Chain A
């Protein structure tokens, strides 16, 4: 306990405390314990929450003055990408729970998505039509350019997130080739493509917002 006390009792206190006056308010305040033990163990709940991926953002409450707008925007992009990537993982994990519900929806989904339902082998994004392929290619090319301008740490995280999404899309596509009428796989694949497009769009929006130097 005592090793922590000098940290607070430093010269900063000179304007408020005078230990030479034992009966003053300052002396009474100085007797208050800085350390108080919680009544219960708090670590297990904290440890459970640490499993969530740590944000690379610099949005700490403690040091906002050290951050430039640019770095904040870049970090925000990384956070968005990580969040979406996690959402995909979560969706995949929910698959078994949703299976029964999805069976009931199977016929409806098949009617709404004839392209996917009829696709025999390939489920790449090209199957979503030439317009989608064009937009995807443009966004991808732009994002590659913007990503080159990011600091290496942020760039790595963004690229990793995009790689995760694309790997998920490939795996889903492969599974759909085996089970072309599975509505859950169809929805997940569409959702993955949408998320990828959304992330590329956000990266490009942020990149454009950072100025013409990119």
Chain B
């Protein structure tokens, strides 16, 4: 009998010149962690059972009333032994994933830097700006427990934050984003092509591009477009550009720039995209960035943002609590605050018209999906490649 829902082995990841070299044991360590992640998604299901069978009844017995808020629920469940073991295992797994990735890339930091320099040399499609400041919200936290975040350079010309991200996201998501980790970008490119068959964007902007995994399928789908991808992290951009060059994508220019204050002209883009970006920004910056998007988007242009699912009115306190778990315990803290923002209100406040607001669901396009990944798998909150997309056409 075949085991159910096994994650793909790490060596299925697509190879390119910038992917860090891995030895046998490093790949084995990633295989262990992908399986552990998958296993813990099942252990997570026990939290709901523990909540319904003992946490909630005990609370009602002791207080004579129902649990009234997410905070109260968090306090009550924090004493539950199943919640404790799941939480500590999940935290430990994320820390181990970072340790495993960093032990791979840091031992070859100089070689990776040299590879990037060779591919990037003399290219006008990589524009770094030493005066670009890393935004406060990125300096305040190491998102998803990645020590040093996206910007820290351990050596001059460092690319290791991106190499760690590229090799490890396949582990965290158990391969559900596909061989190039680009399931989000592929999904949005397909949706746009299908929904707006006549749309022929001349200029496309991707904000918060990171290592460029989601902008490349967009650039590939619109080969005649001039695509610009911005980020504030120089290590990410060096790696992203070198990776794109090696993969033969030539219509993307990677620029170091803060999305809240770009140097682009008014109304100069036909399409502005972000993928899993806003939940790693900040409470004031999110409005500044949306204002900037409105300023540089052409009339008739489209902007789309792939994000975590929003909280809804009918969502239970338990579901809100468990969705917030990653935000606080896997260090993506702004995600816990962004839930309170209505994306429609965010866009309208920046000048988009209410009637032009749109919201759709999206699921990653996965080139590794051979049908063995069953639909009956539990949703791994914060990890599943199922997203909310919001946006608007500017009129």
A and B held together in a complex:
no
Residue numbers of A with Cβ under 8 A of B are none
Residue numbers of B with Cβ under 8 A of A are none
